[in-house]
Structure 1
Amino acid sequence: MTSDRPQSVTGSVHSAAAEPRHESLDRISGMFALFAAVGYAGYLLLLLPAITQLAPAMSSWWTPAMCVIVFVPGFTIGVAALVGVQRWIRSAATVAAISFFVAVATWPAAWDGTILPAGDGVWLAAFPGLASIAAVLAWPAWAAFAHMVLGCVCVQLINFVARGSVEPGQLAPEIAFAIMFCSLFVGASVMALRTGRVLDETTDRAHAAAATAAAERARDVERERFDALIHDSVMSTLLTASRGGAPEHVPRLAAATLAELDEIRSGLPADRPLRPAAAVVHLRATATEAHAGAEFTVAASATEAAELPSEAVRAVSAALAEALRNSRRHAGDEVRCTVRGRVDADSIRIEAVDDGVGFDPAAVSTHRLGIAVSIRARMDRIPGGSASVQSAPGAGTTVRLEWAG
């Protein structure tokens, strides 16, 4: 029987675990990619005078070539971010991070030895941190920080050589300042991307936990369904047969039980609607189990297409069972008890009546929860449900249960 059961809940748990999310990381990565691209555009505009001033001291090919090699990959990062393809962003960021060192490595060969004024410098020294932010988008954090340190050291060495007259003691402070200044932006980029990863991992764990909880709830519901089947159908059928109940009821109860077993085997949901005739069978089974001596005269609508929500049927059945148990417990088995009513296409009306000793409902202690919780509260929880209890000392008891859809 178990081999025919659907495994969709378990499968959803595995699929959730097998497909990690990257929404937050991708969104933050795209934002920083646009930030880097805007930075490259801004630095190009700001450094045009410095680039033009340095060009006479360099080979004729170096300045235009390095402007293309350094800045175009930076612009490409922004284009990739607008397109939204993470693979393109990482590829463009990798090229931008490496191309910065291409300019640094070729500078000595292209420089003609002209000494720059002490207040000037090589334009590459203005944005080593921006190239390292590009590295953050493509590489692990340690590699991006290594890129930043190496870039700061190299451009400050170039500045030191190009300025000629600068004191050697100023080199170390210049390198330290450059590293500390760039660390603020590179560190912020690393932490932002790390936050995105943590958020995605947390979301994955939350979804996995929710899927696991749903699977456990589904198993609990299925377990409750089997418990209800055994309690309401199997045991009621056997009890009716063992106590010599009305012979015409036993085959009907047995047929309903077998039909429910077949439905469980075929994988039909536990909360499926019930037709009026099936609802009457369910009510009869519950009444028989709770009070085998009770007379059951509940009619069902002849409308075959009508369906009643299972929640309403089960609530009425549970409240009816509590009423019958109370009657048997307090009035005794020898007292006549009758269950009568009707199940229609959009309503259920049931009365459980006994001619026992009765009681005063107003005198019932608030600590006695049978009527308050198991009957009234249970019916009040379902939309359209209601319950009332009428009784008096020596006048018997009537419990009315109603549901209207």
Structure 2
Amino acid sequence: MNVRDGGPGSADTDAAHRSTDRLIRIFGRFVGTGYLIYLLLLIPDIARSSDVVSGWWTPVTTVVVFGSGFAFGAFTFHPSVTVIKIAGSVAASTFPIMALLWWVAWDGETFDRAGTFLAVFPGLAALAAATVWRPVPAFAHMTVSVVLVQLINQAVRQPFPRSNVIAEIFFGLMFCTVFVAATLAALRTGRILDATISSTHDAAARAAAANAREVERERFDALIHDEVMSSLLAVARHGRTPSLIRQARSALTHLDDLSTGSISQTFSAAETSAQLRSAATTVDESIDFTVREDALERTAVYPADAVRAIAAALAEALRNSRIHAEASHRSVAVELAASSMRITVQDDGIGFDRRSVPSHRLGVAVSIEGRMRQLDGGSAEIESSSAGTTVRLGWKR
């Protein structure tokens, strides 16, 4: 009697096999209802059969067999499927056990043409077994139960005309097999569905985790390139300056935020302006920074991820301009609306040709375009000529 897998009170197991568990509960209630109906129908037969056995067997069998069937149905309302399976195993086991004990209780002299009342419902006990056991023990239980009750009938009807016991056994087996096989097939379908759902969820979780790791790696790479490497280059070129100190502190703060996850979820319009201004002035203290802010939208809030991504891309655009553009003037214009942001970075430098940028140079491809591409609603446009470079960063809700 091999109860199906499931740890006692395991919430994880229940969550992973919901379709199968639902079917177990449905079949358990069906079996419990069947035991109740058979008890009501067999009351006359139960009373009559007490004449051929010792006085203890009939009441004990009635209580144990039918009581365990009722308990199986009742326990289907219990939250733990393991408890339900145990109740089903008990209901399945009591039937062949009491059938075996009939031979102990029979007086060997009194006969009954109608046979034992147990012969009426061996298939119901087999359904209990099929609900909570694997196919092989379930079919073994069905076979043993049918053979036992048919042999009892053969013995207790001995003086009266009898049918062929082999034919009766095969008829009983075929009749019960239909219901047992249907139950096992339904439960197998439930297990396949559960396995498919679980496999799909696992695959989705692995894909999401891989994507999250890739995004985090790219964020980290961009941060290293934007702030850490630029700080190190600035140290090598200009030495220790107040601007470099602020830039290094900003880099350390951003690294701490990235590692601890202690980051705000939204920024107000004023906070957004401050974040963008801080990102720009950290790179260039003399930057011409202007904000065109609609007075009616001062209560608007913006996703912190969007603000940080734009601020980082803005800072990288200014770094590139300072290092490569040979510009005499740089400016940043910020426009904040209820559901969008637009930042324009301009310089009057020598410009550059995108096709001439080496592939290992990641400032534009990763820190500006790549970062904005990862942002939902984000966009980046870069125009460059000998008259200067314009970088437009945008976000729409």
TM-score > 0.5 by shorter chain? yes
- For residues 168-205 of structure 1, what are the alpha-carbon distances to aligned partners after superposition, in whole Å with 9 as ceiling and x for unaligned? 7x222221121122122222333334444444444444
Alignment CA distance shift 1:404-1:297 (3 Å):
farther
Aligned pair partner of 2:287 in 278, 293, 296: 296
Q: Secondary structure at the match of 2:344?
A: strand
Contact map agreement 2:310 2:393 (CA 8 A) in 1: no
Distance 1:71 1:162 in 2: 22
Distance 1:68 1:83 in 2: 22
Q: For residue 282 of structure 1, what is the aligned residue in structure 2? A: 279
User: Is 1:80 aligned to 2:72, yes or no?
Assistant: no
Question: Structure 2-normalised TM-score?
Answer: 0.69
Distance 1:61 1:251 in 2: 94
Aligned pair partner of 1:130 in 105, 109, 124: 124
Aligned counterparts, 1:2-401, within 5 A: 19-20=12-13, 21-108=16-103, 109-110=105-106, 113-117=109-113, 120-164=114-158, 165-166=160-161, 170-241=164-235, 249-264=243-258, 267-269=260-262, 275=271, 276-283=273-280, 296-298=287-289, 309-315=304-310, 317-318=312-313, 333=325, 336=328, 338-342=330-334, 350-355=343-348, 378=372, 382=376, 401=393
Distance 1:271 1:218 in 2: 19
Alignment CA distance shift 1:399-1:226 (3 Å):
closer
Q: Secondary structure at the match of 1:155?
A: helix
- For residues 141-172 of structure 1, what are the alpha-carbon distances to aligned partners after superposition, in whole Å with 9 as ceiling and x for unaligned? 3222211111111111122223335567x222
Q: For residue 3 of structure 2, what is the aligned residue in structure 1? A: none
Distance 2:348 2:240 in 1: 22
Alignment CA distance shift 1:55-1:282 (3 Å):
same
Alignment CA distance shift 1:270-1:36 (3 Å):
same
Percent same amino acid among aligned pairs?
Answer: 38
What's the C-alpha RMSD, in Å, of the aligned pairs?
4.7
Q: Give the drift of 1:113.
A: 3.9
Question: Structure 1-normalised TM-score?
Answer: 0.68
Q: Secondary structure at the match of 1:351?
A: strand
Q: How many residues align?
A: 359
Structure 2: gaps spanning 5 or more residues? 1-9, 293-297, 352-363
Q: Which amino acid aligns with 1:339?
A: S
Contact map agreement 1:335 1:355 (CA 8 A) in 2: yes
Q: Which amino acid aligns with 1:298?
A: F
Q: Which amino acid aligns with 1:192?
A: A
- For residues 365-389 of structure 1, what are the alpha-carbon distances to aligned partners after superposition, in whole Å with 9 as ceiling and x for unaligned? xxxxx99xx87x9589755x78889
Alignment CA distance shift 1:90-1:248 (3 Å):
closer
Structure 1: gaps spanning 5 or more residues? 1-16, 289-293, 359-369
Distance 1:271 1:216 in 2: 24
Q: Secondary structure at the match of 1:82?
A: coil
